[in-house]
Amino acid sequence: MIRLNSVQRWSLFVALVLWAIFVIFPLYWMVTTTFKLRADIYAGPALIPWVDFAPTLEHWARVVARYQQVTRAMANSAVAGLASAAAATFIGGMAGYGLTRFQYKLGFLRNRDIAFWILSNRVLPPIVLVLPIFIMFRTAGLVDSRAGLAIVYTMFNLPIAAWLMLEYFKQIPIDLDESAKVDGASYMQILTRIALPLARPGIIATFLVCLMFAWNEFIYALILTFSRAQTLPLVVAGQATQHGPQWWDIAVMATITIAPLLLVTILLGNRLIAGLTAGWGQ
Amino acid sequence: MQKTALTRRTLLLPAVVILLGLSIFPLLFSLALSFGDWGLGRGVPYEWRGLSNYAALLADGRYRNAAFNTVLYVVITVSVQYILGLALAWGLFLRPPGGRIFRVFFIFPMMLAPVAVGYMWRLMFQSRIGAANFFLAALGFEPVRWLSARWFAMSVVMMAEIWQWTPFMFLFLYAALMNVPTSPIDAALVDGASGFQVFRHIVLPMLMPISIAVIMLRAVEAVKILDTVYVITHGGPGNTTESLTMYGYNVGLQYFNLGYAAAIAYTLLLVVVAIAVPVIIFIKKEVSYT
């Protein structure tokens, strides 16, 4: 292990603190803006509540009361996010489980090729797919609906979900299946009694990762929704360009958009990190 | 036996159906669109035009500008993200005081909605109420209208991208550093190597494969850049800061010229494939050895 003398140790510490400040400051600036009166926002760099400015809940109260749009967008984001994360985790989990437990042959594709084909869908630029999806959805009456969004997000998250679940199921030794089979367990019993309980941390991590991607997603929502089914990122982006920006209100909406993930990261940081880096670097 | 075969197929079927229907079919649909013209909403049926959309791209100054901007966004942001991410990972690897707390701070930006992040940086650089101009004023400088000048505006977009995605580089490089075998490091230290020499000659070469992978993964995502550009500059001033995805979006869904939009999108896809295929082959090779 490399040992640092105390000068090196503390200069490293200072450098890391500087980066932490760069990371925190814009967020702090935005969040404090939501609590400043307009006069304070224009007056100058007011940094510390109760010292530089008197905090107010005015903007929060107005956004919650006036913009029915925001509460509806929250519901849309939550429904599309939860439904698609559940579906992607479930369907991806099935594929991941199958690919670790059975031998497949689709034409010339074997298991590893199938897994890579599934994953490779993740790199396709949404702008390529979204125009035809828009046309298809118009025909099917799914434009500007939560169901349509949930379907698209399921597709969008499926590659990463299948890939993560594959990594987790791979870590469960196949010997466990074999010995259960010898003891007369059915496939269903092996799945529900052995594989699923052991994969539980992986299932939770996959679900969270999918939920995050769906919650933050922008381009599909931009093109496939216009009023009823608009999600939070869209409401934030729309405010900034339509009528002359109401900075304080947008700051509130942006804060609402990022708050859940900020909270999840602080509470479940390590689990989420484990999910994102599964099977990495070994 | 037959029941096994049925289970086996059922497991894979939903995933394959969804990807064929919503990914592969649109992909081919887009390809067909890019070779033709379809005025959606104007009641004009699809008409085959051969390569004319692609030929038009060559002469389109706005397209060239968007392509150039996209390359700039990708090259600058991804290289800065890598260098900073590597520095942070190495910094934490040296076990500074407060290491565990730093880790959370270094990771969370990548979890946040890019639209909100873009808006956050726009607020920082807004000319009347942004923190940047307040600090400039405190130092005695004139306020700058950041978002009204092309290069300043692009710098703000890049700053937001670097802020958001350096954590991605940090996260994966740090995870890889934690798995680096310690014995060569210790042996070099016993032989009197300095910390920097250990980093330069032992750790960096061991991180090479992972470095290539994370740089390419980031590049593949960065090429699609839309959210931050849309919120911070909306392509402006004029169309000078537009990215390819943004131009494709404008052509397809503002002007409803689907064929041309699909051609723009397909050129973007070619770039993505050119970056991604070597990486996928590379990762595949790595996987088959373990």
pLDDT tens, residue order, chain B (290 aa):
466 778 888 899 999 999 999 999 999 999 999 998 887 666 677 888 888 899 999 999 999 999 999 999 999 999 999 999 999 999 999 888 888 888 888 888 999 999 999 999 999 998 888 888 888 888 888 888 988 999 999 999 999 999 999 999 999 999 899 888 888 888 888 888 888 888 999 899 999 888 988 999 899 999 999 999 999 999 889 899 999 999 999 998 888 888 999 999 999 999 999 988 887 677 666 655 44
B273 in a structural domain: yes
- Looking at residue A282, its pLDDT comes to 41
In a domain? residue B20: no
B26, B115, B171 member nearest A277 (Cβ): B171
Can you give the residue ranges of every domain in chain A?
Answer: 6-60, 67-276
Q: What is the pLDDT of residue A142?
A: 95
- A25 contacts on B by Cβ (under 8 Å): 131
Give A159-189 pLDDT, tens digit per residue.
Answer: 999 999 998 898 888 888 888 888 888 877 8
The ipTM (two decimal places) reads 0.90
Total structural domains within chain B: 1
Look at residue B135 in the predicted model and tell me its pLDDT.
87
Closest by CA to A130, choosing from A222, A41, A45, is A222
Q: Is the pLDDT of residue A90 over 60?
A: yes
Collapse the DSSP code of A120 into the 3-class scheme (helix H, G, I; strand E, B; otherwise coil) and give the result.
helix
> How far apart (Å, rounded) are the C-alpha atoms in residues B59 and A225?
33
* Of A258 and B192, more confident: A258
Which residue has better confidence, A102 or B62?
B62
Distance from CA of A35 to the nearest CA of B (A): 14
- Chain A residues within 8 A of B128 when measuring between CB atoms: 42
In this predicted structure, what is the pLDDT of residue A271? 67
The CATH number that domain A67-276 falls under is 1.10.3720.10
Asked if residue B153 is part of any domain, the answer here is yes
Contact partners, residue A91, CB within 8 Å, separation at least 6: A154, A158, A161, A162, B14, B15, B18
Between CA B161 and CA B80 the distance in angstroms is 10
Check CB contact of B267 with chain A, cutoff 8 Å: no
C-alpha closest to that of B222 among B169, B281, B171: B169
Per the model's pLDDT, the better-predicted residue between A27 and B284 turns out to be A27
Position B67 scores a pLDDT of: 96
pLDDT for the residue numbered B289: 44
Residue A281's pLDDT band, with cuts at 50, 70 and 90, is very low
B129 to chain A, any CB pair closer than 8 A? The answer is: yes
How far is Cα B235 from Cα A64, in angstroms, rounded to an integer? 30
pLDDT 10s digits, A198-251: 888 889 889 988 999 999 999 999 999 988 899 999 998 887 554 567 888 889
Q: pLDDT digits over A117-152, tens only? A: 998 899 899 999 999 999 999 999 999 999 999 999
Among A223, A237, A273, beta carbon nearest to B171:
A273
Tell me which residue in A98, A158, A282 faces B18 most closely, judged by beta carbons: A158
Look up residue A72 and give its two tokens. Answer: 């509806």
Of A8, A42, A102, the CB nearest to B8: A102
Nearest CA in chain B to A215: B113
Please tell me the total number of residues recorded for chain A in this structure. Answer: 282
Which of A 9-28 lie inside 8 A of B, CB atoms? 9-10, 12-13, 15-16, 19-20, 22-27
pLDDT tens column, A33-61: 999 888 888 887 878 888 888 888 888 98
Q: What is the pLDDT of residue A182?
A: 86
Is A31's pLDDT higher than 90?
A: yes
Say what the pLDDT of residue A44 is. Answer: 76
CATH number at residue B50: 1.10.3720.10
Cβ contact A254–B120 (<8 Å) = yes
| Residue B172, number of CB atoms within 10 A of its CB | 22
B 75-114 residues inside an 8 A Cβ radius of A: 84, 88, 91-92, 94-98, 102-109, 111-114
How many Å lie between the alpha carbon of A60 and the closest alpha carbon of chain B? 17
Residue B249 with chain A: CB contacts under 8 Å: 127, 219, 222-223
Give the CA distances from residue A38 to residues A26, A46, A56, A256, B281, in Å, rounded to whole numbers and listed in that order.
Answer: 19, 12, 10, 20, 55
Q: What is the span of the domain harbouring residue B84?
A: 29-289
